[in-house]
């Protein structure tokens, strides 16, 4: 496994992406530069915001709080 560390292009939080060696080799074989691609990655929170327009909350749902 190869571990790439990059930051989200919107919120600048650190993202760690693990890529299998075989996948990395195949990407380089077809000419995909993963280092360049990593600069355009979004974290899950920013991706959800981009797709839906709503930011997900970090707080657990109230139901989990009441019944937990």
Per-residue model confidence as pLDDT tens digits over 3-58 = 888 888 888 889 898 888 888 888 888 988 877 878 788 888 888 888 888 777 66
Please give the model's pTM, rounded to 2 decimal places: 0.59
Among candidate residues 7, 5, 4, the one with its CA nearest the CA of residue 41:
7
3-class secondary structure, 36: helix
Virtual torsion, Cα 47, 48, 54, 59, nearest 10 deg? -110
Number of domains in the chain: 1
- Domain span at residue 61 reads 2-67
Q: What is the DSSP string of 44-63?
A: HHHHHHHHHS-PPPSSPPHH
Whether 68 shows a pLDDT value over 60: the answer reads no
């Amino acid at each position: 496994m190869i571990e790439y560390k990059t930051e989200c292009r919107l919120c600048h939080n650190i993202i760690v992406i693990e890529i299998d060696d075989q996948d990395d080799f195949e990407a380089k074989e077809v000419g995909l530069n993963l280092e360049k691609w990593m600069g355009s990655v979004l974290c899950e929170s920013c991706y959800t915001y981009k797709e839906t327009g709503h930011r997900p909350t970090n707080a657990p749902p109230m139901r989990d709080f009441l019944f937990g």
